[in-house]
A and B are shown apart, each in its own frame.
Chain A
Amino acid sequence: MSNPAVSWSLAGRLARRELRGSTRGFRIFVACLALGVAAIAAVGSTRAMLEESISADAREILGGDLLVDIVHRPAEPEERAAMEAAGVVAASAEMRAMARAENTRAARTLVELKTVEQSYPLYGALETEPALPREALLAPQDGIWGVAAAPELLTKLDVGIGDILRIGETRFEIRATITREPDRIGGSGLFSLGPRAMISAAALPDTGLVQPGSLVHYNYRLRLNENATSANVIETLNTDFPDAGWRIRTLDESSPRLTRLIQRVTLFLSFIGLTALLVGGVGVANAVRAWLDGKIATIATLKCIGAPRALVFRVYLLQVLALALLGIVVGLVVGAGLPVVTADLLAQVIPIRIAGGIFLEPLVVAALFGLLTALTFSVWAIARACDIPAGDLFRSLVAPTKGLPPKSYIALTILLAAALAGLAIATASDAKFASWFVLGSLAAMVTFRLAASGIAKGAARLKGVRRPALRLALAGLHRPGAPTASVVLSLGLGLSMLVTVATIEGNLSRQIAEELPADAPAFFFVDIQPDQIAPFGELVAGIPGVERSEQVPMLRGRITAIDGTPAADARVAPDSQWVLRGDRGITWASEPPDNNKIVRGEWWPADYTGDMLVSLDHGIAVGLGLDIGHTLTVNILGREFTATLASTREIDWQRLSINFVMIFSPGNLEAAPRMHIAVVHTSPATEDQVERAVTDRFANVTSVRVRSALETVGALVGNVGLAVRLTAVITLVAGTLVLAGAIAAGHRRRIYDSVVLKVLGATRRDIVTAYVLEYGLLGLVTGAIAAIVGSITGWAVVTYLLGLSWSFEPMAVAVTTVIATMITIGAGLIGTWRAMGQKAAPWLRNE
């Protein structure tokens, strides 16, 4: 710029001189930014750390360069030959089965059974305790096969090395515990119904577990030849065996479930961090305003001796930027360091090798968030301060200006806010969710701002209050310069986030673990063979305490085409994509399930035997873009079946009964190899007896205890919930910081007020009562509004994002409101107490 008077370098010199003096009042500013930036940087860094760890170990986690997953059947010899042509193959079968301890207690548990070949693992190493060569670990010794088991299995069944386990119809000797299974997480993700039991592939046939229709995943892991690429191999395999019905995973999707979970959780956490930053933004705005209020004489002087407005703006912008930089750097250091510290802790929850480190990208993003927040929340105040009429210096009553800054600065503020919103959306893994977050936080900020005006106006309207303490309190809420707006806005946002998180968590844990539906079954029994159905029914019915049982046939199938369009090319709503992700349970029925309601179309007649029809979950049908009369093609055991959509149903998934997304009309699938699935309703007291009776009689049948499965899910949700809660607390800390800042800003006024009140004869008790009432009212109203805003947000997330039924969480709301009130009263009183101790005389003389 040619004009030296507005040059950045001159502005920089002046800014440096001013900053040299004092940065008092900026502690809150720096702390607010540091906190928000630290939260975002920590979440981003943790995510980067986990994803990089997964990606660095992708070969081990997947167990190969490629994984071919076939459900129900092993690969045909020619299929296996084709795989072997591409590289070294390690085949394994993975299924759920029951393991029983062959001791007096006859304890049993569900295990995640995995068979391995000599070539396993292709990457990484299987580590056991004691460390044994493969032969000694799994091969038969004295006619007894070996098994390597997860330590939890030994604890659960109260057995040790050398003890005998019965899996299916075969006895296995426990030779070692598994301390590290390199590809564990790549299979089931974090969630598994039981501990791992690993046996030799050669032992599987002896167990009798594999029956037609049994739910077995045959996994073929490939270590590719040097000249082969994943893409080429996949293309060859799919071209040569178009009907194989397999699913092939590459290194990019070594652990899709875990990756999705990490994405979801960190998305949620980063929004909480962003809320903390927004709350901090209010603190930034307050701090900048208070600081500039103390600078107006300087600004007026600068203008008086010839500083153009642009120069003044730059001088103060640069100072804000310098302090913002300090806050950002502190935040980045904390945020980058936290994952390094928590890497060990995380490794206990997520069984992968976690490599700590500094991750640049999330730090840059966090820094950008911090910078944009600092600018968005300070440009307005700086621009307004530049409007101070320099002529006021002649009147010795330099006062902060009111009203709007010039249009160009309003536009700049809007632009910065838009950039902040844009960054939030651009860097989120789910743009739609991010957009809702942006809209929601905007709505919440407007709500709280309006509420603050409402409180102030309401307090001003309340005339004729007799009690002086209450009158003082009300006056404190609406006098000029009252911190009402900033307290309501910042504390309100922080509390809303806390209520939201508490409600979501309350709803989740209630639905998962605490309140099982009254008619929830105690057991799912899977892999019941058709010829076992009748004896199974008789056996279960004969056990006292069993209320009822139901069973349905089940096959596994994969959707391959949607109304003629290949599934891979179809446009599917994000919340329905899971249906296409793998194999789904399929059944057929002549009658609609009791608890399903037909939404569209009609259920087929009970004696229907014509062309194949299908009934779909209504939400999924909508998500797939299917209407009555459209077709759906599924691949079942390598055969394609195309059915016409006859009806859609509303399924109550929370009832925990047997529910199927797809139910086909009878007459087409009966011939396919299948197994049956049964639910048994029984009293908790007879659960052990039922499990023992069924698994003793039918060695191939696996029992899933609903209660313990839900506990497993609950524990996972609990871990995630803890992280979420901890992050949410940060928003409240930010809110409290802002509150403390706002109260500190009014400290001088408060001292003066209390001195004058004392002179007029008010006791300390009178004064304290007035302040308790002032802050109590403020906290109570803020808490109440936060409870409403948080509940609405929680409802939206639970209903629309999680697709669960919503229930109001009165405890969360009550606790939050009480916390809000206590924090405000506490912070207010700490400030007041200091004010009360002041001697009156010096203050009166000064005035």
Chain B
Amino acid sequence: MNDLTGAAANHAPSDSTLAQPMIALAGTELHLASASGNVNILRGIDLTVARGEKVGVVGPSGSGKSTMMMVIAGLERQTGGSVRVAGEDLAQLDEDDLARFRRDRVGVVFQAFHLIPTMNALENVAVPLEFAGAPDAFARARASLETVGLGHRLDHYPSQLSGGEQQRVALARAFAPEPDLLLADEPTGNLDGETGTTIIETLFDLSDRHGTTLLLITHDPAIAARCDRTVHLRDGLIVDSGAAA
């Protein structure tokens, strides 16, 4: 496998930001008004994740795992408390700033892959690099795909790839811009056991190599156990912030 270091870190953290945690949630709340009344999805989350740390997030359905991840990705705005990610106070950023923030700092991997069906594997991986205006977007995308073992599938469309391959493309897409933080929402949820294991191996391998901070939602205790620690959520609250496993 090739290394992904071909791209120089174009957003190298300064010494002062290095000292800051990657994620700092303080009293983070999210209430949604619905027809049947106010729904409290996050009820005061306090979470600090250090740079390079790998954190598993577990909890029953509806406990607020995904919502917390969306708030961290800037895809949902908290209604209370504060959210700082990679040194940025997300409340201060407008919609387009948040888009740029994700583009430069955050990679996301979904359970349902969410590749763009009209683009082939190479193009799917190149898109975020193109957004960043990288002149070598396709070369880096190719390298990234080779890293995940899909160098021979560059021209294939999502519909021509197996579930495991699609998720590997998604991983390549998430890592290609060299994000500081990778958010993974049950990345193996749609895959069989063996394929899932391969994906998790790749995910941890890439995180290690890049020193990427990883926040990983999972239902699988074995996967959670591979993280530095595991955070337990229930009813919108962290019930166990998981001392290092």
Contact = CB atoms under 8 A, between A and B. Distances in A.
B128 A306 contact: yes
Contacts of B116: 17-18, 298, 301-302
- Sort chain B's interface into a size bin: 20 to 34
Interface in A1-58: 4-5, 10, 13-14, 17-22
Nearest to B71: A391
Interface stretch (A307-315, A364-372, A440-448, A652-660): A307-315
16 contacts: A5-B132, A10-B130, A10-B131, A18-B116, A298-B116, A298-B117, A305-B128, A306-B103, A306-B128, A307-B99, A308-B96, A308-B99, A308-B100, A393-B110, A394-B66, A394-B75
Contacts of A13: 130
A396 B130 contact: no
A310 B96 contact: yes
A394 B185 contact: yes
Contact of B100 (A5, A18, A20): A5
A223 interface: no
B39 interface: no
A395 interface: yes
A151 interface: no
Given A304-B114, A306-B131, A307-B103, 12 more contacts: A5-B131, A21-B118, A22-B118, A298-B118, A305-B131, A306-B99, A308-B99, A308-B100, A311-B131, A389-B75, A391-B76, A394-B110
B66 A395 contact: yes
A19 B117 CA distance: 11
A5 B104 CA distance: 12
B223 interface: no
B50 interface: no
Contacts of B96: 308-310
Given A5-B131, A389-B76, A306 B114 contact: no
Nearest to A392: B75
A298 B116 CA distance: 5
Contacts of A393: 110, 112, 114
A769 B149 CA distance: 57
A5 B110 contact: no
B25 interface: no
A500 B133 CA distance: 56
B123 A304 contact: no
Nearest to A394: B66
B158 to A, nearest CB: 10
Most chain B beta carbons < 10 A, residue from A4, A301, A311:
A301
B132 A304 contact: no
A428 interface: no
Contacts of B104: 306
A526 interface: no
A306 B102 CA distance: 5
A300 B133 CA distance: 20
Contacts of B145: none
A297 B118 CA distance: 12
Contacts, number: 92
Given A10-B130, A14-B127, A309 B118 contact: no
A20 B117 CA distance: 11
A310 B199 CA distance: 34
Contacts of A822: none
Given A20-B118, A301-B115, A5 B95 contact: no
A443 to B, nearest CB: 36
B45 to A, nearest CB: 16
Contacts of B132: 4-5, 306
A303 interface: yes
Nearest to A14: B127
Contacts of A19: 118
Contacts of A21: 117-118, 157
Contact of A309 (B95, B110, B185): B95
A664 to B, nearest CB: 79
Nearest to A22: B118
Most chain A beta carbons < 10 A, residue from B69, B100, B130:
B130
A161 interface: no
Interface in B79-110: 95-96, 99-100, 102-104, 108, 110
Contacts of A804: none
A713 interface: no
B33 to A, nearest CB: 15
Contacts of A745: none
5 closest Cβ pairs, A-B complex: A306-B103, A4-B133, A21-B118, A391-B75, A391-B70
A792 interface: no
Given A298-B117, A302-B127, A307-B131, A396 B112 contact: yes
Given A306-B128, A309-B99, A301 B114 contact: yes
Contacts of A394: 66-67, 69-70, 75, 110, 185
A17 B155 CA distance: 12
A646 B102 CA distance: 85
A18 B118 contact: yes
Interface residues of A, number: 32
B140 interface: no
B119 interface: yes
Most chain A beta carbons < 10 A, residue from B95, B96, B102:
B96
A88 interface: no
Contacts of B119: 17-18
A390 interface: yes
Contact of A304 (B66, B67, B75, B118): B75
A22 B115 CA distance: 16
Nearest to B99: A308
Contacts of A297: 114
Nearest to B115: A301
Contacts of A18: 116, 118-119
Contacts of A390: 75
B43 interface: no
Nearest to B114: A301
B142 interface: no
B233 to A, nearest CB: 14
Most chain A beta carbons < 10 A, residue from B96, B114, B133:
B114
Given A298-B117, A310-B96, A391-B75, A304 B112 contact: no
B37 to A, nearest CB: 20
B51 interface: no
B173 A305 contact: yes
A304 B131 CA distance: 12
Contacts of B111: 396
Contacts of B66: 394-395
A18 B123 CA distance: 11
B133 A5 contact: yes
Interface string B182-213: 00010000000000000000000000000000
Nearest to B97: A308
Contacts of B108: 304-305
A14 B126 CA distance: 11
B73 interface: yes
Contacts of B157: 21
Nearest to A20: B118
B231 to A, nearest CB: 17
B41 to A, nearest CB: 11
A307 B126 CA distance: 13
B102 A305 contact: yes
B185 A304 contact: no
Nearest to B70: A391
Contacts of A301: 114-116
Contacts of A305: 102-103, 108, 127-128, 131, 173
Nearest to A294: B117
A371 B66 CA distance: 43
Contacts of B75: 304, 389-391, 394
A389 B98 CA distance: 13
A18 B130 CA distance: 15
A5 B127 contact: no
A14 to B, nearest CB: 7
Interface string B133-163: 1000000000000000000000001000000
A304 B102 contact: yes
